């Protein structure tokens, strides 16, 4: 089929960039019947080669796969100002400078698309922006970091400890040499900032998203929790609370019925809840060069057809700091009478009630593992601070949030 060319300028030629260049060539023919145009690479900018101005001049659309804030921010702003559509996979950039970029895209009447920035090829961005545009979303839960989901799956499956599972993730290419942003939860926090912005139509900056990582999770926690029917995930949450908004990332237990409970290995998944839609879950590979490149190509095709934009935020929701959670609490204590009673009393003073409890003797010591009903986190941590001072405690209490909902 003969068709007019559509020229794409590519910034970045790492794993995703080179996979995209390959995919674009392989699928160019398939794009023609959809768009009436044949996409082709107008130029590639790498750290050592290529000139941005020259590539911009020759391109109708810019694909930004450099990662990091600068010079990506400058290039994207200049491309937008020059009237070019932009497709990016850059979560750091969007979670810190999104409003500036979206405002500029609106001003210049160009599209800024970013499906690949969150959950790879799982089309959560498009679905939030388009399908659920008027769904009045109440909550988004996401497993949005494949590295940590692989590590936790591996710990649960094999009984390995954190360090062993991390080593295995590195060996298989699921973790980078420096996995700091992944295991600390910061990468997931950036992605949740972007999802929250879209779901709640209110500005959210990475700095407003508290996060907790998986470095301190022990095989013990996983084993005990299994007795309660719980599985552990690094969960991002964005939810409306009393007219405000809470966005956060932390490890949390899920009951087996939760749609995210069965998401294993390096996969990502996002659940969106509202009265209008009940609950919709999307899952799939969250990373990988070819998969992420595929999400980028989907955006390029959409940008070749119709206008789409991120509208100006229609509201500015307050970001809520103290939210209610159920908790798993693990205590190593001296095995003597009255221990459970004293712990329960301290919890009771904070209005916290216990849902289930397992106590195991270990010679002179005992292990007390319980799940408590949802309570304001400030109250729970206040109770923990009091419990920590009890003289029969053998080590610091370990607390992990539990997501309680069971679906269908």
Q: Does 285 engage in binding with a second copy (CB under 8 A)?
A: yes
Q: For residue 174, what are the CA distances in angstroms to 67, 88, 232, 293? A: 18, 22, 18, 17
Among 168, 228, 284, 386, binds a second copy (CB under 8 A): 284
Does position 109 interact with a second copy (CB under 8 A)? The reply is no
Residue 202 · residue 188 · CB < 8 Å: no
Site string for a second copy, 327-346 (x = CB under 8 A): --------------------
Q: Give the nearer residue to a second copy in terms of CB position, either 30 or 362.
A: 30
Assess 225 for contact with a second copy (CB under 8 A). Answer: no
Q: What angle do CA 405, 406, 408 make, to 5 degrees?
A: 135
Is 103 a binding residue for a second copy by CB under 8 A? The answer is: no
Return d(Cα 251, Cα 65) in angstroms, integer. 29
Pick the binder of a second copy from 15, 27, 382, 386 (CB under 8 A): 27
Residue 191 has which token pair? 């992605």
Among 22, 20, 19, 24, residue whose Cα is nearest residue 6? 24
| Separation CA 245–CA 323 (nearest Å) | 10
Considering the candidates 91, 170, 191, 360, report the single residue annotated as catalytic: 191
CB of 318 to a second copy, least distance (A): 19
Considering only 59, 145, 202, 281, the residue that binds a second copy (CB under 8 A) is: 281
Of the candidate spans 99-107, 177-185, 232-240, 308-316, the one that interacts with a second copy by CB under 8 A turns out to be 308-316
- Check: CB of residue 223 under 8 Å from CB of residue 159: yes
- 191 is an active site residue: yes
Minimal distance in Å, beta carbon 148 to a second copy? 15
Q: Using an 8 Å Cβ cutoff, are 157 and 164 in contact?
A: no
Point out which residues pair with 319 in neighbouring strands: 245
Q: CB neighbours (10 Å) of residue 161?
A: 13
Stretch that binds a second copy, among 98-106, 253-261, 332-340, 342-350 (CB under 8 A): 253-261
Contact call for residues 88 and 75 (beta carbons, < 8 A) = no
- Residues near a second copy (CB under 8 A) are 23, 27, 30-31, 33-34, 115, 121-123, 126-127, 130-136, 201, 257, 259, 261-262, 264-267, 275-285, 288, 290-291, 293-295, 297-298, 301-302, 305-308, 311-312, 314, 408
Q: Which residues are catalytic?
A: 191
């Amino acid at each position: 089929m003969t068709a007019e060319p559509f020229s794409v300028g590519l910034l970045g030629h790492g794993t995703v960039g080179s996979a995209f260049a390959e995919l674009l060539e392989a699928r160019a023919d398939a794009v023609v019947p959809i768009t009436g145009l044949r996409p082709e690479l107008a130029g590639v900018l790498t750290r050592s080669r290529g000139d941005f101005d020259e590539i911009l001049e020759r391109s109708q659309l810019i694909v930004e796969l450099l990662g990091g804030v600068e010079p990506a921010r400058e290039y994207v702003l200049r491309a937008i100002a020059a009237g070019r559509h932009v497709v990016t996979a850059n979560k750091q950039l969007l979670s810190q400078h999104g409003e500036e970029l979206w405002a500029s895209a609106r001003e210049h009447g160009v599209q800024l698309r970013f499906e690949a920035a969150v959950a790879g090829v799982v089309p959560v961005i498009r679905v939030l922006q388009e399908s659920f545009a008027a769904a009045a979303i109440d909550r988004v839960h996401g497993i949005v970091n494949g590295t940590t989901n692989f590590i936790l799956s591996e710990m649960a499956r094999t009984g390995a400890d954190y360090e062993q599972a991390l080593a295995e993730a590195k060996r298989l290419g699921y973790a980078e040499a420096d996995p700091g942003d992944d295991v600390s939860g910061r990468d997931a926090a950036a992605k949740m900032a972007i999802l929250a912005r879209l779901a709640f139509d209110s500005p959210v900056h990475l700095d407003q998203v508290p996060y907790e990582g998986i470095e301190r999770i022990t095989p013990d926690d996983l084993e005990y929790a299994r007795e309660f029917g719980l599985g552990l995930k690094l969960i991002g949450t964005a939810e409306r609370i009393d007219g405000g908004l809470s966005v956060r990332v932390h490890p949390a237990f899920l009951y087996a019925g939760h749609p995210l409970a069965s998401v294993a290995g390096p996969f990502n998944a996002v659940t969106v809840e509202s009265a209008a839609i009940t609950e919709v879950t999307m899952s799939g590979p969250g990373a990988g060069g070819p998969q992420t490149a595929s999400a980028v190509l989907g955006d390029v095709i959409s940008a070749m057809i119709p206008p789409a934009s991120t509208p100006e935020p229609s509201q500015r929701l307050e970001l809520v700091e103290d939210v209610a959670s159920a908790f798993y609490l693990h205590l190593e204590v001296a095995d003597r009478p009255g221990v459970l009673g004293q712990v329960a009393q301290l919890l009771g003073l904070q209005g916290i009630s216990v849902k289930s409890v397992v106590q195991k003797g270990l010679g002179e010591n005992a292990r007390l593992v319980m799940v408590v009903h949802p309570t304001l986190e400030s109250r729970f941590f206040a109770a923990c601070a009091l419990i920590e001072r009890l003289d029969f405690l053998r080590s610091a209490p370990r607390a992990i949030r539990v997501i309680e909902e069971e679906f269908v």
